[in-house]
Structure 1
Amino acid sequence: MPDPALRAELAAGCQKLEVDVSPAQLDLLCEYLALLAKWNRAYNLTAVRDPAEMVRKHLLDSLAIAPLVLGQRLIDVGTGGGLPGVPLSILYPQREFHLLDSNSKKTRFLFQVKTALGLDNMTVHHARVESFQPEALFDTVLSRAFASLQDMVSGCRHLLADGGHFQAMKGIFPETEIADLAGVCEILAVTPLEVPGLAEQRHLVDMRLLSPGAS
């Protein structure tokens, strides 16, 4: 049984974010949270130890981008403990999510999550992003705290289908990082996010590669 207080906080947070979650999805999110807290003790998946803090800093933080996420086939690069990939997989069972990480402990944990939660729309890959060759390209490459925007674009462009989007979760407005992509990417939107219970700044950067010859 999920912790009633944590479930209530998560439900209230989703309501504030205007993210529509069913009772069954709330239960899955709470089950994921319990697995994350349990495995974190041995595997050091996240520096956040308190489950109540995990609700705000991990689950609601990931779900804040849900209304803005594009595409049918998506990859979460450097997913770590499965953020934002696992919450989004739970929220959007009709979409295809691929979670990529080079850390074998983290991908072992994610395989456990996939099995325990029955997430058939989620695929886990243990590989370095630079060497990963997917069977098919992705509509959207997602990242959360993955290094700079420039590193994300240069390291992941081989994963993106024509016309696809890079969507990067950042903290403060990444003015310098955006400037570094001049001539490489078109910045489609930088959306400020308000995460319930979190006073820190959050933004989602939506980008698309410029076609050759474009300025």
Structure 2
Amino acid sequence: MTGQPLSDDPLHDAVEVREYFGDVYPRVRAFAEMLAEQGVERGLIGPREVGRLWERHLLNSAALSPFLGEGRVADVGSGAGLPGMVLAAMDPDRDYVLIEPMERRTQWLFEAARECGIDNVRILRGRAEEVVESVEADVVTARAVAAIDKLVKWCSPLLSPEGRFVLLKGRSAGDELERAKYTLRKHRLTGEVHTAGTIEGVEPTTVVVLSHS
């Protein structure tokens, strides 16, 4: 059983996508093709997602890049490698740690990193609270893992003293920040909601940045 061809995705090999990613496009493309071929079979994405992989997943992940600042990045709940593997492919000179509790998904991440030539990632199996002794990051990223208050509680121990969270969120991000205000105050964090665009015609991504106040 194989996935659908990425050629069904109208953005696959589109000039705008190539220009957006520039020199790193071949690595991102290799990852996209591997995810399209194996993602459905391995339970990483739904069948309908292959035809919109670039718009819904790859560009969505890439939108975090301008908010990362400097330093080491830990991607929590990496799953299919979104956003961590995409960001690592875009940023080969930075170290990334991909943290994922499910064995079959960590195996996928190992294989994807090897086959796509993304060699600046370290992959750890476990939950955030289980890898505290192994990780100190300047940035924590996450996509569709948990609400903001839970992410802060679980992942703050991974951060360096001046570290930040850069999170992919939906349109209700402002409400989620409001619900997390007591947790943010406890951890001396302030939150900002950003709208991040990538290429023309693709819906902007909502990014939440939590910084130490």
TM (norm. structure 1) is 0.84
**Matching residue's letter, 1:181:** K
Deviation at 1:5, TM superposition (A): 6.4
Unaligned segments of structure 1, at least 5 residues: 211-215
- How many residue pairs match? The answer is 202
2:3 corresponding residue in structure 1: none
Aligned-pair Cα RMSD in Å: 2.3
Corresponding position: 1:181 with 2:185? no
1:208 maps to which residue? 211
TM-score for the superposition, normalised by structure 2: 0.84
Aligned in 2, Cα 1:87/1:149: closer, same or farther, shift over 3 Å? same
Q: Secondary structure at the match of 1:81?
A: coil
Trace 1:7-156 onto structure 2 (pairs within 5 A): 7-9=12-14, 11-13=15-17, 15=19, 19-22=20-23, 25-47=24-46, 49-156=48-155
Alpha carbons of 1:139 and 1:48: their partners in 2 closer, same or farther (altered >3 Å)? farther
Please list the CA deviations of residues 9-28 of structure 1 after superposition, one character each: whole Å capped at 9, or x if unmatched. 2x41464xxx4521xx2122
Q: Which moved more, 1:164-173 or 1:182-191?
A: 182-191
Cα distance in 1, alignment partners of residues 86 and 202 from structure 2: 18
Evaluate the alpha carbon distance shift between residue 110 and residue 60 of structure 1 in structure 2; reply closer, same or farther with a 3 A threshold: same
Give distance in 2, aligned partners of 1:121 and 1:53. 27
Unaligned 5+ segments in structure 2 are 1-5
C-alpha deviation, 1:49, in angstroms: 3.8
Determine which of 181, 191, 194 is the counterpart of 2:194: 191
Instruction: Indicate the percent of aligned positions where both proteins have the same amino acid.
Output: 24
2:64–2:166: 8 Å Cα contact kept in structure 1? Answer: no
How far the C-alpha of 1:208 sits from its partner, in A, is 2.4
Query: What is the CA–CA distance in structure 1 between the aligned matches of 2:133 and 2:48, rounded to whole Å?
Result: 34
1:52 deviates by 3.5
CA contact (8 A) 2:27 2:117 kept: no
Change (3 A) 1:14 1:27: closer
Deviation per CA, 1:137-193: give whole Å up to 9, x if none.
110011111110000000111101101001111011422321222423432532112
**Residue 99 of structure 1: how far off its partner (Å):** 0.6
Could you list the per-position Cα deviations for residues 14-59 of structure 1 after superposition, in whole angstroms to 9, with x for gaps in the alignment?
Answer: 64xxx4521xx21221111111122223211012545330011111
- The aligned residue for residue 162 of structure 2 is 163
